[in-house]
Amino acid sequence: MAMEDPDKKTEVVLLACGSFNPITNMHLRLFELAKDYFDETGKYKVIKGIISPVCDAYKKKGLISADHRVTMAKLATKNSDWVEVDDWESTQSEWLETVKVLRYHHQKLLSSDPTNSLQNALPLTKPGRKRKQEPNRHDPIKKKNQSPDIKSTPQIKLLCGSDVLESFGIPNLWKLEDITEIVQNHGLVCISRAGSNVQKFIYESDILWRHKNNIHLVEEWITNDISSTRIRRALRRGQSIRYLVPDVVQAYIEKNNLYNPESEDKNAGVVLAPLQKYASDSKN
């Protein structure tokens, strides 16, 4: 039997995309749950977590400005030594598909990796020269053949709750090619509730079933139904949100009076960006 070599663990970066309107303790828990899961496999090492708040052009009802959402996420992760906030997606003027955010962070990891010879040979910014898609390192054989001092670029996996996975089934919300690229080239980590039917959902989808080895289901045993919607609702009703969001986030919300009936009316009656995009696609 092969001995476990800690140096040969596959490094993983977790990327969570969402509104974070506002960030809650549960969002932070997602990262801890996923990290524990990967640690326990003995095969992966989570080296970083990235929170990427969606941009304002997503047009979700009640979505307050990205500036505030990013600031709150940064406050919430100030004490974490491995989870950080990236504002690249949030500062885009148009809504971006999640797969594009994954691609961006994958490229960023490649370009920051000094041991990556592909990167040295093909500069990212070279115009008119299309980079070949970097093969992912899901092949354990390939990994074993690498010399121990050469670290492969980490894999970047999309971290989400089961509602996001199940939203793959909503018509005109996700493109099949995007779902395919996410599960085939990157991977998905889904935090699910005990007894949730994510497994059935995967079973019923040919594409998810084909790539089920790249979909990690993490069971959340200490269940917690905190959601941003409920936080905003409590705030509108003047109820306490203490212990549901970090104290610094609560203080920031109160100081800036971020959530009220008016803010909840933002984008009322506006169609969500992906629905707008793909519904018009299917008409053309």
What are the residues binding ligand NMN (CB under 6 A)?
Answer: 17-19, 54, 58, 60, 97-99, 164, 173-174, 178, 274
Task: Give the shortest CB-134-to-ligand NMN separation in angstroms.
Answer: 21
26 binds, among ligand ATP, ligand NMN, none (CB under 5 to 8 A by kind): ligand ATP
Write down the least CB distance from residue 72 to ligand ATP, Å: 11
**Choices 19-27, 38-46, 175-183, 246-254; region in contact with ligand ATP by CB under 6 A:** 19-27
HSE of 36, CA atoms in CB hemisphere, 13 A: 11
Residue 178 interacts, among ligand NMN, ligand ATP, none and using kind-specific CB cut-offs from 5 to 8 Å, with ligand NMN
Give the Cα separation of 163 and 190 in Å (integer): 9
Site for ligand ATP in 131-150 (CB under 6 A): none
Q: How far is the CB of 77 from ligand ATP (least distance, A)?
A: 14
Using rule CB under 6 A, residue 152 touches ligand ATP: no
Give the one entry of ligand ATP, ligand NMN, none that residue 30 binds, where binding means its C-beta sits below a cut-off of 5 to 8 angstroms depending on kind. Answer: ligand ATP
Cα 108 from Cα 102, distance rounded (Å): 10
CB of 92 to ligand NMN, least distance (A): 10
The site partner of 58 among ligand NMN, ligand ATP, none (C-beta below 5 to 8 Å per kind) is ligand NMN
Q: Which of 21, 71, 98, 214 binds ligand ATP (CB under 6 A)?
A: 21
Question: Binding to ligand ATP by residue 197, rule CB under 6 A?
Answer: no
Min separation Cβ 276 and ligand NMN, Å: 11
Q: CB-based contacts of 84: which residues, under 8 Å, 6+ apart?
A: 48, 49, 50, 51, 77
In the set 11, 14, 18, 92, which binds ligand ATP (CB under 6 A)? Answer: 18
Laid out side by side, the sheet with 10-18 consists of: 83-85, 44-53, 10-18, 155-161, 188-193, 215-220
Smallest separation (angstroms) from ligand ATP to the CB of 166: 9
**Residue 245 in contact with ligand ATP, rule: CB under 6 A:** no
Which tokens is 248 given? Answer: 């610094």
Nearer to ligand NMN, 19 or 107 (CB): 19
* 182 sits near ligand ATP (criterion: CB under 6 A): no
Total number of residues shown for the chain: 284
Q: Please say whether the beta carbons of 245 and 25 come within 8 A.
A: yes
* Window of 138-146, 157-165, 198-206, 256-264 that interacts with ligand ATP by CB under 6 A: 157-165
